[in-house]
Homo-oligomer: A and B are copies of this chain.
Amino acid sequence: MRSLNSGDDRPDLPVPPWRKARKQPQPRPQLSQELIVETGLRILDSEGLDALSMRRVAQELGTGPASLYAHVAAKEELLELIYDRVLGEIALPEYDPARWQPLLRQCALEMHRVIMAHADVARSALAGVPTGPNAMRVAEYMFGLLIDAGMAPRDASLAFDRIVLYVCADAFEGSLHFSRMKAVGASSLEEFFHAYVSHIEEYFSSLPPERYPHLSEHAKALVEDDGEARFRYGLDLLFDGLAARMPG
């Protein structure tokens, strides 16, 4: 299920020099890196990050955990591969620097949507500078948009870096809430969110007003907006600042 936008025809992409080149098994392997990544993603989606262990992946593949290490250096690398695989699902709108702002915004929203669709993958998204082919594809698109719109290279790299950080951070936070929901055992997200929010609001309301006047008074406002509204508000803040810095 690979998007047409997924630029993962990798022969012309150099392998990062600091990561040891891994020879892919030519002969006739039943096991392959792609199969392992796909299996890992399936477990991640259906059972969450906490259930994603090397043993669990191996079990799903009908083998032992040691077999995976011929195709994947470590669990961390597997998580990076899964993350890049997810990034491949991002659909990028047609490139047009004249409309940089709505396009960049749409791109950030799409990235957020895709990551949230595989909730727990966000927990490994912040782990490092992603260098996979799909990450590069998105980076080239977003960074290029800022450059071609007239931004200075250093500003553009800073802005791009901050937007990605914000998107991943919000998705990360969301995934933690989600996994907590599952830990509690709530059936629907709606139900959990309502219960959770009620607790928080009740806690804020019960704070001593003489010491926490604002928190206790505005307890309701503090929990009124949900995750999506919060995300968009922060994105708006960033883009307002960005637009002010864009020449022309």
Contact = CB atoms under 8 A, between A and B. Distances in A.
A96 interface: no
Given A14-B207, A221-B153, A224-B157, A200 B234 contact: no
Contacts of A147: 214, 218
Contacts of A176: 126-128
B241 A126 contact: no
Contacts of A236: 241
B158 A165 contact: no
A55 interface: no
- Size bracket of the A interface: 35 or more
Given A128-B177, A136-B215, 12 more contacts: A13-B211, A14-B203, A14-B208, A17-B199, A126-B169, A126-B172, A128-B176, A140-B211, A143-B215, A148-B214, A153-B221, A237-B237
Interface string A213-227: 111001001111100
Task: Determine how many copies of this chain the complex contains.
Answer: 2
A230 interface: yes
A126 B173 contact: yes
Interface in A224-248: 224-225, 229-230, 233-234, 236-242, 244-245
B229 A158 contact: yes
A80 interface: no
A162 interface: yes
A150 interface: no
A178 to B, nearest CB: 12
A233 B128 contact: no
A140 B200 contact: no
Given A17-B203, A172-B126, A199-B18, A221 B154 contact: yes
B162 A237 contact: yes
